[in-house]
Amino acid sequence: MELEVRHLRVICAIAETGSLTRAAAALRQTQPGVSAQLGRIETMLGGRLFDRGQNGVVPTPLGELVITRAQAVLPTLDELMNTAAVMPGSSPRQFRLGSVSGPFMGALISEVRALHHDASITSRSHHTSQPLVDDVANGRLEVAVVGDSPGYELPAPPGVVLRPVVTEPVFALLPETHPLARHSEVDLADLMEHDWAVPRPEDRTPEYWARVGLGTGGRMRVRYEAEGRTLVEIVRHGHAVSLVQPTFDEVPGVVTRPIAGDPIRYRHLLAWHRDGPLAQSGDVIVKHLVRAYRAARHR
């Protein structure tokens, strides 16, 4: 067995997160799997790279040496792979696409396929934006649709372009039997009087919602943390209210309503690496996503 690039990524992930569990989450692997890989790597290199403790892991002297070398090597390898992907005569391209929840992934795949007919395309989603931006920065994704909120804008890592696609108002999500569902639009102050279901706080979206809600003189009572279908089911059963994008497809038992004055907004962005294989196509893809969004809003 020989040391490979994927082994260097495992070592760097463990060093950056200080924990096998957090490294596994960042690498989208299981903790036992990462632990087993680390054991094999340490066997290859002839010594421990990390000392394990109750508060996580700490690099050994050998580990410090390996981590320093890996952190120097990986950016060069990623740049080499991105450059080779766009050179004449290179093998068929492989594009890895990412997206948070929203109406864009299908359109993103279609546009990349239209621009590169012979490409192999894969995709994955994440419930928060920052991991997708980090993956674009580190060469694990070629392009990703992400989003942020006013006052909570995503920072762009070195080399990453974040291009706005559209900024939209956020709608209320209500049980269809809720008293506010009778109105064509609702006041945020009225929503603040009810229990809420919100996403997990990693991307600070609930923090933004709560901060805007405080401006009405109310305080958000968060009872449930959930995403996707789980959140919708909590609302459908009448346990809470929440917020959704206006392109949300209503399902039986829930309704969406605009919020008076559009006090809460969300910005969709496209992220790509300026040295990546899709850098020259970024603005073209953005225009296609704008058209796709308008179509979704008027379905």
Residue 250 lies in a domain: yes
Same domain? For 284 and 154 the reply is yes
Same domain? For 274 and 136 the reply is yes
Same domain? For 58 and 102 the reply is no
Residue 86 lies in a domain: no
Same domain? For 149 and 270 the reply is yes
CATH of the domain at 76: 1.10.10.10
Same domain? For 271 and 162 the reply is yes
Would you state the pLDDT for residue 299? 57
Residue 58 lies in a domain: yes
CATH of the domain at 252: 3.40.190.10
Residue 85 lies in a domain: no
Cα distances (Å, whole numbers) of residue 232 to 227, 252, 258, 268: 8, 10, 17, 21
Phi, psi of 196 (to 5 degrees): -120, 150
- For the stretch 44-95, pLDDT in tens is 898 999 998 888 899 999 999 999 998 888 877 766 665 555 455 544 578 9
- For the stretch 227-280, pLDDT in tens is 889 999 999 999 999 999 999 888 899 999 999 999 999 999 999 998 888 998
Residue 73 lies in a domain: yes
- For the stretch 204-235, pLDDT in tens is 899 999 999 999 999 999 999 998 899 999 99
Same domain? For 33 and 161 the reply is no
Nearest to 155 by CA among 204, 105, 103: 204
Would you state the pLDDT for residue 91? 44
Q: Taking 60 as the threshold, does the pLDDT of residue 178 lie above it?
A: yes
Would you state the pLDDT for residue 108? 95
Domain boundary residue, one of 56, 80, 104: 80
Q: Hey, what's the torsion of the CAs at 85, 90, 94, 99, to 10 degrees?
A: 20
Would you state the pLDDT for residue 84? 56
Q: Considering its fold, how many domains does the chain have in total?
A: 3
Structural domain harbouring 199:
171-263
In residues, how long is the chain?
A: 299
The mean pLDDT of 1-8, rounded to a whole number, is: 79
Same domain? For 125 and 104 the reply is yes
Same domain? For 156 and 273 the reply is yes
- For the stretch 111-152, pLDDT in tens is 999 998 888 999 999 888 999 999 999 889 999 999 999 999
Would you state the pLDDT for residue 112? 93
Confidence category of residue 1, pLDDT binned at 50, 70, 90:
low
E strand spans, the chain:
50-53, 56-59, 94-99, 120-125, 143-148, 160-169, 171-175, 195-198, 221-225, 242-244, 254-257, 265-273
Same domain? For 145 and 292 the reply is yes
Same domain? For 30 and 152 the reply is no
Residue 52 lies in a domain: yes
Same domain? For 270 and 163 the reply is yes
Same domain? For 152 and 279 the reply is yes
Would you state the pLDDT for residue 146? 96
